[in-house]
Amino acid sequence: FRDALPPQPARRIAEHLIAPPPPAAAGIERLERRPPLGELGLASPPKTPMPQVWRETLLYRPIATSSATFQAMGRTVAISGAIDIDPGRICQFGDASWPCGQRARA
């Protein structure tokens, strides 16, 4: 029933109390950018790009050997940028311990 009515403009209620006044264009000044605070703020250099020409190979039945590598069809594949965690590693925090190497591998 409401959709059948023509759209109505929204009522303006207490604009001077709710919305801030528009900024004066003459009062805005663009400043020079500041130098970086340190090396931490700089972007890391780009990594080696993927080759433009490469053959895609579908690998069947992959088996994760660690958190960063897997084997399939006699090939071992390392995932770029992944941190390798030993599958036998046990992590501890306070009184709790868990097989973080096995979880990373899964």
Any idea what the Cα angle at residue 9 is, between residues 25 and 7, rounded to 5°? 140
Structure confidence at residue 3 (pLDDT): 64
Structure confidence at residue 61 (pLDDT): 92
Q: Which residues contact 69 (CB under 8 A, 6 or more apart)?
A: 76, 77, 78, 79, 84
| pLDDT tens, per residue, the chain with 106 residues | 556 777 778 777 777 777 777 777 777 788 898 887 776 766 777 787 777 887 888 989 998 888 888 899 999 988 888 888 877 888 888 888 888 877 776 6
Domain boundaries, the chain: 54-106
